[in-house]
Structures are given as structure tokens and as C-alpha cells.
Amino acid sequence: MGTPTRIATITRTIMSTEAALLLMQWLSPAYPVGAFAYSHGLESAVGDGQVKNGADLSDWLTDLLTHGGARSDAQLLACAYRAETSEGLAEVDQIARAFCPSAERLRETDLQGAAFCQTTVAVWGDTLTGLTYPVALGAAARSHNLPLDLTLQMYLHAFLSNLIAAGQRLLSLGQLEAQQRLTALKPEMARAAEDALAGDLDALFGATFAADIASMRHETQYSRIFRS
């Protein structure tokens, strides 16, 4: 018969593994939110010559993690997770919508959030409806008692992975270099997750004007393969 300490350790390990597996499913490319269809303005930045190679892509993604959409999404996710009431959650969602700098960025988070809510409700019976993507994920993680820090880290990893994949389609970026660049971004991902854990809605900000303008320019881009 195991000791109480050993039993508690095994229980925590099982719970941690179950949480990771559920987040892996939610954030997998197979989960039907259509993330592959969006580039977060990257396609326009490549077309305009702002992002020409892997090094430029790393700089672009670092800016998103430190001052842009990746950072603000993480903060909104954390605030949604902490929302105690449906009114509080609705307020976070309204702020998430208002914070979008362009029509395409709003559509990106709105449609992915709606798809996430629809699938999660159908599979697990959650009560999510009509939420933006990071807000929906934060609310779902809370309802399933998933650790917020793990949820933030895995969300940011999925966010960056999707844009790295977009970069492979838009640039001369091979699979090996793509994975090397994703791995190199892990320290910034960890810092962004830590900032989101420590902050609240008052800590929400955005200062990536190039990325915001790129998302606006993409709305009228003649030839494109992504929806944002």
C-alpha cells in the first residue's frame, strides 16, 4: 500500500497529464477552429517586404509576444479564466473585440472562437457561446479545472506554431529551420505567460503598429491565400 505522499504525487501526475492531453486536443491543428486559414497579417508583411526570411520572421513573432497580439491574447485568456460571473466574462469578451485593430483581426478571433465554442459544447457539453478565441479557451480551461499557467503556455505555443507554419508557406523556410526558430522563441513564450499570470485587464496593451497596419492592408490585398 502506497504512502499518502506517494498517492498524492501520483494523483497530481495523472491530473497534470490529463490536463495536458485535453489542451493538446483543443489546440491541435485537428481541432476544427480553422487556425491554419489565418496569418494574423503576416501574409501582407511578407508581400510588402517587411518579412523576407526566417530571421525577420523570428523578429516579427518576438514583437507579437512582447508587445502584440500574442501577448494581449494571453492576457485576455487569463482574465477570462479568472472571471467569476457570466457578466465578468462578457466584459472580457467585449474588451477583446474592441482591442482588435482591424476588421480581419476581429473576424479571425470571432470565427475561431465561435468554432471552438461549438465543438467544445458538442463534445463536452460546456455552455460556451459567442466568445472570441482566447476568451473561449480561458473560460473552457476554468470550467475543466485546467492549470492556467499550462493553458497559457500551450496557447502561446499553438499561436506561434500556426504563424511559423504560415511562414513556411510564404517564405523559403524549411522544416528544420522552422522548428529551430520555434524552439528559440520558448523563453519569450514563457515570459509572456508569466506576464499574463501576473496581470489583469489594466495590463492590456498593444504596440505593434507594423503588424496592426499589415492586418489592415491585408483586407485589400489582391492575391492572398490566408483570411487575415
Q: How far apart are CA 190 and CA 195, in angstroms?
A: 9
Q: State the residue for C-alpha cell 497596419.
A: 213
Residue 16: predicted pLDDT:
77
Mean local confidence (pLDDT), 209-226? 95
Share of the chain above pLDDT 70, in %: 93
Handedness of CA 172, 108, 60, 189 (dihedral sign): negative
Cβ atoms of 51 and 171 closer than 8 Å: yes
Range in 11-15, 88-92, 165-169, 203-207 the model is least confident about: 11-15
Residue 165: predicted pLDDT:
97
Mean local confidence (pLDDT), 14-31? 90
Range in 12-26, 111-125, 161-175, 209-223 the model is least confident about: 12-26
pLDDT by residue (tens digit) across 46-74? 999 999 999 999 999 999 999 999 999 99
User: What is the full DSSP assignment across 153-164?
Assistant: HHHHHHHHHHHH
Share of the chain above pLDDT 90, in %: 92
With 0-12 CB in 10 A as exposed, 13-18 as middle and 19+ as buried, what is 10? exposed
CA distances for 174 relative to 66, 68, 168, 169, 214, angstroms: 25, 25, 7, 10, 24
Asked if residue 2 has pLDDT above 60, the reply is no
pLDDT by residue (tens digit) across 67-84? 999 999 999 999 999 999
